[in-house]
Every structure is written in C-alpha cells, then in structure tokens.
Chains A and B, each alone.
Chain A
C-alpha cells in the first residue's frame, strides 16, 4: 500500500511537472469524454422515451392511399372487423396540419378522441365544447397564450375564434409542443373536412400477437392501404436508437481519439522525455514493474479525471442546461422549438462502463512504449544519450 501511494504521489507530481502536456492531453480526453457521453446519454434517453411511450399507441393505424398519396378514410371502412375477437376497438380520427404564417410553423390539429385525466402534464382541461382548444406548451409560448385567453385561427372557412381551456406543460413538450386539440366539429371546420371522412383509423387489439392476422384482413378489405403496425415502429426506433449502434460508437470514438492524442503527444517529443526519465529511474534503483506501475497510474489518473469531468459536463449540458446547440441540430429549425426535456437513463453500471471505455484504451496505449524500452533506456542513458 505504501509503495502504491508513493508511486501514485510520484505519478501525480509527474503530471504537474509536465503541466502543458498534462493540460493538453487532459483537455483532449475531456473533449472525447464529453462528446461520447453526450452521444450515448442522449441516445439512451431518446430510446427510453420511445420505449416508454409507444405502448400508448394503437397497435394498428390504417391510412387510405390513392395513387400512393394519403387520402381520407370512411369511418366504417373496417366495420366488418369490429366484431372480430382480436379487435378491441376501431377509432376513426380526425387530424391534420394548419400552417400559421406569423409563426412559420405547422400546428398539429387534432380532434379529441378520448378524455383521460392528465393532472401533471396539463394545466387546465381538454376542450369540451365548440370554440375551445387545448394547446401545447410551445404554441402557447410562441403566441403568449394562457388558459382563458382567446385566439383566432385561420381555418378552411376563414378565421375562427377559440378560447384556451388548457395548456400542456413543458414535460410533454416533445410529444405535444405543437398540438392543438379541438372538438371534432371544430377540427373538421378548421381543416376543411366537411364530410364524414376521417384522417385515419386507430385499431386497438385484444392481444398484440393478433396484429399480423388483423393486418392481413385489412389488406383484403382495403387494398393498397397503409397499415402502420406499432411493432414496426418499435423496430425502426430500435434500429435508429438501438444499443448496437450506440455501442459501436462507444468503442470507436475513445480508441480513435486516444490514438490521435497519443500520436500527437509522441510527435511532440514526449517519448524521448519519457525514455530519459525511465533510464534515470532504472539507474536510481527502480525496477521495471515500478516504472510500469508509475506510468499506469499517471495515465489512468489523467484519463480518469478527464473522463469523470467530461461525463459530468455532458450530463449537465444535456439534462440541466437542455442541450443548447445540440437540441437545435436534433430538433431542426422548427420555429416552435420544443423544450428539450429528456429523462436521463444513467445508471451506476453504465457510468462504470463509460469510465472504463475512456480510461482503459488511453492507459493501454500510453504504456505500450514502456514495455519495449526498459533495458534500452538505461543503456542509452549510460552511453551519454542526453
């Protein structure tokens, strides 16, 4: 233990002695740690968000297509399926988009098709009567609206006046930031759907395993219809945000980054310095394993601190400061700009893995030269090398 502490103190002193090098390498490592952690944490959060929310989606959604373009669908288009034991309900839905020129933004206009209690994510209530609407937080923010305020919206039949009954909180911003919920009559009026047709049909199943069979039936009833299966969406999200992609990035970035940093370090002459130092230590009675321990401690102290700081900064950046700039990249230039509130999925084991991914490659690559040069160092030194 004493030996270990003594070598550790020497390693830390060595880092301070070579301040410029330590700061440069440390900063480089911190940057790698920051980027990697930010990418992985973001990745995991988005994936977890989808995994949490997807169960709320209908198992099947059916869109009518004509000429490959979406068309509206009759509410009873799948009346035959209503009695199917695998089908729990078929809900026709009215929804569409309304462009607001002053905001250069699209609203999602939706007819309310349920009345769930939403005490923590809704400030107010859902619309009960004509002339009422409930809006998302970004819309409210952009238009400066609060429950009780009024707004005129440019519908298909001209401007219509509405009173705000409720505003969704920023916790649901990523889901409902651009949402405007109305009664069905108001939604139809705004969108110009003045017939009995619907935007799509949402089908709830008694068991998700029924999806294939029901989908096959629907294909027969509505040839060419687009059937959106929840499981297919889950698969698509898994591919995009799945663990495989994340893991690969996790391995590549720190290894590549470490190589580049070390290459730069070596090119700037630190290997000569280290060889001289190793020779001096050998002459001073150090064993090769002492020198190796010292180098391992030096590299892992530097990379460990850089990793810990990088990860902490990434966390702060993503979840405390809501990822400025990065959020813009991800969310695009939507002028409604949702509040970037994701839930961090950081656990102890994941943290350890992150630290290991950052520290181990750097330390291993740093000490490779030490293995080769132990004897050469002393001899070269004795021959008057430096």
Chain B
C-alpha cells in the first residue's frame, strides 16, 4: 500500500484573534482548507473578512492562535524560527496587497532580494532571472527604479520577486485591486500560465496558487479552479 502524498497546503482549525483595548476580537473561527500543486484557488470575501490575515498565517508570516498549517506535510506552527524562515524562503512566494517593493531600488534589485541571504545571484540564477523578467514582460525595465513604474508594472515586479526562488506555493493578496482591465487580464493570464507549467517542465513542480480577491473579473474567470468564500471569519 502506497502512502498518500500530502497535499501542498493543508490548514486545519485556524483560529485568530486580536486584542482591541479590553476586548478580544475573533477574526478567524476555525478555518480548514487544502490546496494542491497546479491548482489556482481564489479566496473571496468582503473587506474585513480576514482574507489578508488568513494569507499571512498560511504564508508563515504570522502565527495563529490555534490550528495547524502544513506545507508538503511539514507543520509550520511547530517549526523553530530558523527552520520556518527557511521553509518560507524555499517553498512560499508572497505578494502582499501593498506589493512591498523598495521604491528607491531598481526592478532587478527588488526581484533579487530573496537571493541575497544565500549569497546573491550566481550565473545560473541570473539566467533564470532574465527568463523570469521576459516571462513577465519587464526585461526592458530591469534597471528602472520602482518609483518610476506604473501600477501594472509594479504588480508584475512583485510577482516576479515572489517567483524568483521557484516556490511551491504562491500566495497573492488582491493582485488586481488597483489595476485596469488590461493589466488585470495580463496578471490573470500570467497566473494561469504559471500554474499550468513549471519552470523545469515537470508537472509535480507546478506551483499551487491561492489568491485573496474580491475582483469579480477573477472570481468569474474560467482560469480559477475553485472559489473559497470567507465571511466573517468562516468559510462558507
């Protein structure tokens, strides 16, 4: 009997709250979900429903009050800080709502940020970087400062940075929120292409993509495999 391979992402019973003065406010009430490689899942819900918080927990950036989050079978909650950081770096790419780019740095420098703690970009890395830039149609902007780019271009830079280490799980928070139709479609097409093909052509290495969004253009798109609806901290 062969053991079942664990899913890429498995979250069980995630609960989160924050303290507001004397009160404790519950944001997430026991969320459980799963995601596999090659899946493109949208996490829908109105503002304030806890989407960003859930993504932060799934991305290992914030610890939940209770629950487990497993990436390829490894429970992130129980990991020590150093190992958690390594897991995040190796397996998870994150694009936050504000994009989190350093405006005074160039496109290439921003994208290469994840590479620095491990010694910077080697020659092989640089070839991959160039491929990535071409794929995202930002090659010509490599030496341009972030503060000189348009919203759509910045979004693509943020996605490129999240992809630079070939993550297994890609988490995006409102990737099309401030984009026009054309750019939003571009991003969606890119994500679709990503989840369909891996950088080395092997299907087991296709990333799983989880997007928090309330953009109907994405929610109604055929590219999305599933839509999870989050309402008042619960999945409906």
Contact = CB atoms under 8 A, between A and B. Distances in A.
B85 A6 contact: no
B62 A379 contact: yes
Interface in B54-113: 55-56, 61-62, 81-82, 85-86, 88-89, 94, 96-98, 100-102, 104-105, 109, 113
Contact of B117 (A277, A290, A384): A290
Contacts of A288: 81, 85
A270 to B, nearest CB: 13
B224 to A, nearest CB: 23
Contacts, number: 84
A238 to B, nearest CB: 52
B56 A382 contact: yes
B114 interface: yes
Interface residues of B, number: 32
B119 A3 contact: yes
A105 B96 CA distance: 78
B116 interface: yes
Q: Give the interface residue-count category, chain A.
A: 20 to 34
B96 A381 contact: yes
B118 interface: yes
A37 B66 CA distance: 57
Contact of A381 (B88, B100, B116, B119): B100
Given A287-B85, A287-B117, A382-B96, A280 B61 contact: no
Interface string A9-21: 1100100011000
Nearest to B115: A6
B173 interface: yes
A286 B84 CA distance: 11
29 contacts: A2-B119, A3-B117, A5-B120, A6-B118, A6-B119, A7-B117, A10-B116, A17-B104, A277-B102, A283-B61, A283-B94, A284-B100, A284-B114, A286-B117, A287-B82, A287-B117, A288-B81, A288-B85, A290-B116, A290-B117, A378-B62, A379-B62, A381-B96, A381-B100, A382-B55, A382-B61, A382-B97, A383-B52, A384-B98
Given A2-B119, A13-B109, A289-B82, 13 more contacts: A2-B118, A3-B117, A6-B115, A7-B116, A277-B102, A283-B94, A286-B117, A290-B116, A378-B56, A382-B97, A382-B173, A384-B52, A386-B98
